């Protein structure tokens, strides 16, 4: 299997791997890539999504291993910083656990490591039936507070997602990923773990799953933000991201987690 990958600024000294969320593709990181002209950026479309929708999603571990191979082959020095949101944060966490030697640091936001249960689980799986509806994706775009300039690509990406891959992905992530995180124990990879203040409570509830395993993990709340806050307030996201990538410190704009 081969993921679709785009790269910018290949001659920069340090590389950043961006891992997108579950209803989108690599295009969601355009504002972040533009904000990092001094970094080599690597942006894949995960299996089943975007330009990789012809590739079969197997599992979080398989996807993390494929991303590890991309870092080895493409990243400068064979290592990369990792930035992930939602599904991308879950994949990024598993990537750090399985391949810590390849990750310089990670900024992970919106990761419900304990899974999604009860009615929310049922509702999420039920909504798969509506993924072929353009109206469904328009409604979801409003719920995510997607800006108008990405509305069309968000809808087209959603309509193009490989449904069986999405079903496998959701079943695994909704069950929780904590059993896959033994590699975080004793890890020295610096982790900035974030949740929007208005994100689902399951995200912040996962903070102890990070800090109980890794002393290199720090957890914070992003004030006033919802789940997809890289689109909601890209300038805020970019400031926090740059401070983390360049100084490995949590921005003063964040709240204690």
Render pLDDT for 100-144 as a digit per residue (tens, 0 to 9): 999 999 999 999 999 888 887 887 888 888 888 999 989 988 887
In terms of pLDDT, which residue wins out, 77 or 148? 77
pLDDT digits (tens, 9 = 90+) for 170-197: 999 999 999 999 999 999 999 999 999 9
Query: Measured between alpha carbons, how far is 222 from 83 in angstroms, rounded to an integer?
Result: 15
Specify the pairing of strand 217-222 against strand 103-109: unpaired
Q: Are 58 and 168 in contact (CB under 8 A)?
A: yes
pTM of the model: 0.95
Using pLDDT thresholds of 50, 70 and 90, give the confidence band for residue 85: very high
Furthest C-alpha separation in the chain:
48
Under 8 Å CB-to-CB from 34, ≥6 apart: which residues?
Answer: none
Mean pLDDT of 208-214: 96
Q: Does the pLDDT value for residue 1 go beyond 70?
A: no
Using pLDDT thresholds of 50, 70 and 90, give the confidence band for residue 218: very high
Query: Measured between alpha carbons, how far is 177 from 209 in angstroms, rounded to an integer?
Result: 10
CATH 3.10.129.10 is right for the domain spanning 4-256:
no
- Give the pLDDT confidence score for residue 7 in this predicted structure: 98
Query: Measured between alpha carbons, how far is 54 from 17 in angstroms, rounded to an integer?
Result: 21
- Give the pLDDT confidence score for residue 78 in this predicted structure: 97
Mean pLDDT of 58-77: 97
CA 8 to chain centre: 19
Query: Measured between alpha carbons, how far is 257 from 218 in angstroms, rounded to an integer?
Result: 8
Token match 């939602």: residue? Answer: 86
Strand order in the sheet with 103-109: 4-8, 40-45, 15-19, 80-85, 103-109, 191-196, 217-222, 255-256
Mean pLDDT of 207-228: 97
Q: Are 161 and 21 in contact (CB under 8 A)?
A: no
Query: Measured between alpha carbons, how far is 248 from 105 in angstroms, rounded to an integer?
Result: 8
- Averaged pLDDT of the chain: 94
In terms of pLDDT, which residue wins out, 130 or 63? 63
Using pLDDT thresholds of 50, 70 and 90, give the confidence band for residue 3: very high
Using pLDDT thresholds of 50, 70 and 90, give the confidence band for residue 257: confident
């Amino acid at each position: 299997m081969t993921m679709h990958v785009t790269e910018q600024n290949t001659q920069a000294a340090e590389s950043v791997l961006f891992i997108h969320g579950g209803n989108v593709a690599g295009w969601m990181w355009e504002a972040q890539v533009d904000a990092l002209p001094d970094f080599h950026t690597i942006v894949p479309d995960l299996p089943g999504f975007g330009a990789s929708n012809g590739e079969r999603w197997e599992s979080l571990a398989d996807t993390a291993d494929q991303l590890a191979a991309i870092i080895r082959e493409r990243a400068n020095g064979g290592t990369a910083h990792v930035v992930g949101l939602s599904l991308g944060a879950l994949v990024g966490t598993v990537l750090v656990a399985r391949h810590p030697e390849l990750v310089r640091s990670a900024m992970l936001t919106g990761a419900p490591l304990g899974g999604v249960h009860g009615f929310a689980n049922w509702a999420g799986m039920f909504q798969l039936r509506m993924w072929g509806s353009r109206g469904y994706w328009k409604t979801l775009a409003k719920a995510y507070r997607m800006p108008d300039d990405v509305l069309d690509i968000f809808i087209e990406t959603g309509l193009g997602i490989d449904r069986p891959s999405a079903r496998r992905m959701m079943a695994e992530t909704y069950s929780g990923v904590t059993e896959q995180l033994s590699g975080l124990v004793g890890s020295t990879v610096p982790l900035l773990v974030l949740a929007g203040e208005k994100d689902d409570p399951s995200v912040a509830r996962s903070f102890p799953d990070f800090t109980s395993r890794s002393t290199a993990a720090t957890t914070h709340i992003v004030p006033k933000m919802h789940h997809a806050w890289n689109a909601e307030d890209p300038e805020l996201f970019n400031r926090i991201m740059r401070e983390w990538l360049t100084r490995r410190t949590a921005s003063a704009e964040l709240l204690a987690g």
